[in-house]
Amino acid sequence: MSAKPLKVQNEVLIKNGYVYDPLNGVKGDVKDIAIQNGKIVEPSKLSTKAKVIDAKGKVVMPGGVDIHTHVAGPKVNVGRMYRPEDKLHDTMEHRTDLLRAGGGFSVPSTFVTAYRYAKLGYTFVNEAAMPPLLARHTHEEMHDTPILDQSAFTLLGNNWLVMEYIKKGQKENLDAYVAWILKATKGSAIKIVNPGGTEAWGWGKNCTDIDDPVPYFDVTPKDIITGLCETNERLGLPHSIHLHGNNLGHPGNYTTTLKTLALTENIRTNKKSGRNQNVHFTHAQFNSYGGTAWKDFVSKADEIANYVNNHDHLTIDVGFVTLDETTTMTADGPFEFTLHSTNHLKWANVDVELETGSGVVPFIYDSRNHVFGIQWATGLELGLLVKDPMKCFLTTDHPNAGPFTRYPVVASWLMSKKARDAKLATLHKWVAERTQIKDIDRELSLYELAQMTRAGPAKALGMSRNKGHLGIGADGDVSIYDLDPKTTDIGQQPEVLVKALEGAAYTIKGGDIVVKDGEVVSVDAPKYTIWSDADGFNNKEVMNDIVEKFLKYYSVTLNNYPVQDVYAPHQQVIKAGPLAGGN
């Protein structure tokens, strides 16, 4: 008796491309990649019916993985709503038989967000800041962001119960609560934004240093960061704590950053998680500043890069400034107010009961101004001075430092000194004087780009089993760029790189060809929401505390709080904590 043959479908064979797959050590070898039923398989497994893509003379990479971007949820939508003019700066996408209308230069609408990411060859993007109470909003928008697999980080760095458990030293309770709220919000990781500072902003104050006490709660940012990091490792969540530090965007803040990074040096990373770091420090560019005021503002990216090079417990992403008119949006309420006080542009603020805060302010990174030029250089210095791209990822903190559609241009700056110098020549003279950017000759390779945009983020997210590589068993997410590394000298022809990255020759999502020749051709690819379930606790005390908080302080009832399954019709649940057999 022979086994019943498996029904095979969705077969794709990508032939003869230059494959860049850092997690499997493939450095531009000419290889065939085969996809069957949405997964990468041995090419020999394919039937004769497989669709064949001729990738000869083209670059083949895993689908792009964005570890940090603001694309779904209340704060993003405030940005969309209160910036109608943002649509004027944009070539709006009109409706076709296949595609929805939409747009927005810095804060595109949901459908267009997906189309634009897909055109860049990205297949997984992570929403970086989800207020728990408003999780449904985030999930509804993710539902209207087709093609891309997504996850969302749950904001916990200013959460009342988190601070109370940390203050009382109740570690088990903190574990159980974090697991509960990740489940309730279908979040994938612990996000910490300006720990303590945003709660202080509830009183119009801030925590600018890791030792500043939070009003009433009497814990410090330091306690919050280490407390949540330890919980994260005990739970063995796929991603580490994802940290937006205190004192963001202020001259001289690099000292705060170094102190912050040192906090978790001695916390053991839970290796079951599939990652190496215990903290991911996000948009580090904004926290790498020297000087004392904007007048004597200088880059200290070298100090931060140095720290990253010498330590293995952390990863960072950069937050490259793209020098555009954009929109800033963060859960760092006090920072957004400071920003508004400097540029006097419209300011939105939302404080979320017991949980977090947020602010939105438009921002014009004017290339004539030395500050923005230095910010631009600071980001590139980080990207170039961190030796291992598996520790330093390409982001723009979309849309805070610039919209994600600028990733190809950022890549050209990283990969071509010529492109950098050309941009530098248009900037304020202080940029060259106060940064090292003109002296850095490094040009990243395509392999390193794949590390910064695929392998690194996937590994750091603890998702490198399925994402960020092209090994057997990985998700069939592939991007193919019309770029021949043998005939193109990217260093000398950065514009060729930009053109290739801006419109992928093919983007394949779960075996479906969704982009061809830079145009979206299908929106039917399976799309998953990925979240982390570590809630195997039965902690009565924590449940009582939660019930009490809802009865006394929340404006909704507990029963209406958790996100129901209908909000995430296609879920992938990563089991951690007790559910994964404990740690």
Partner 1 sequence: MFPSYSKKTENNKQVIEQRLLTQKLNLAVDLDRCTGCGVCIDACPEEAITEGPIGAVSRGKAKVSKVDVDPKKCSFCGVCNILCPFNAIKLSVDGVEKLPILEQQGFPVLEKKAKIDDEKCSRCVLCEEVCPRDAIRRDVAKVDQGHKAASTMKYAIDYKLDDAKCTKCGICAEACDAFKIEYKEPTPLTVKRIGEVKFDEKKCDACKVCVEICPEDAISIERKIIEEPKLSGKVAIDTNECVTCTWCQVICPKDAAKVEKVFEGELTINTANCPAGCSTCVDVCPCNALYLPVVEEAGHKPGKLAYNKDFCIYCGACINACPADSTITMKRNKINVTGEKTNLYNKIEAKLFAEKTPKIKEA
Residues that bind partner 1 (CB under 8 A): 200, 203-205, 214-217
Return the closest-CA partner of residue 514 out of 122, 13, 139, 14: 122
- Of residues 195 and 389, the one with the C-beta less far from partner 1: 195
Query: Could you tell me where the DSSP H helices lie in 367-451?
Result: 370-385, 407-415, 417-424, 429-434, 446-450
Indicate the residue among 206 and 529 with the shorter CB distance to partner 1. 206
What's the half-sphere exposure (Cβ side, CA atoms, 13 Å) at 100?
A: 15
Distance CA 150, CA 436 (A): 37
**At closest approach, how far in Å is the CB of 207 from partner 1?**
11
Nearest to partner 1 of 203, 582 (CB atom): 203
Which residue, 196 or 462, is less far from partner 1 as judged by CB? 196
Residue with smaller CB distance to partner 1, 50 or 207: 207
Nearest approach, Cβ of 245 to partner 1 (angstroms)? 22
CA angle 64, 386, 481 (to 5 degrees): 25
Q: Which is nearer to partner 1, 199 or 502 (CB)?
A: 199
Please state the closest distance from residue 264 (CB atom) to partner 1, in A: 27
User: Peptide bond preceding 43: is omega within 30 degrees of 0, i.e. cis?
Assistant: no
Please, what is the minimum distance in Å from the beta carbon of residue 218 to partner 1?
8
Q: Are strands 51-54 and 392-393 parallel, antiparallel or unpaired?
A: unpaired
CA atoms within 13 Å, Cβ hemisphere of 97: 1
Which H helix or E strand runs over 480? strand 478-481
Q: Which is nearer to partner 1, 216 or 492 (CB)?
A: 216
Element of type H or E holding 307:
helix 301-310
Minimum distance, C-beta of residue 219 to partner 1, in the bound complex (Å): 11
Q: Coil, helix or strand for 173?
A: helix
CB 170 within 8 A of CB 163: no
What tokens appear for 338 in the block? 């400071």
Of 59 and 163, which has the nearer Cβ to partner 1?
A: 163
Give the shortest CB-284-to-partner 1 separation in angstroms.
29
Least distance in angstroms from the C-beta of 309 to partner 1: 40
Q: Give the three-class secondary structure for 499.
A: helix
**Closest separation in Å from C-beta 196 to partner 1:** 11
Q: How far apart are CA 107 and CA 413, in angstroms?
A: 23
Between helix 370-385 and helix 301-310 the angle, nearest 10°, is 20
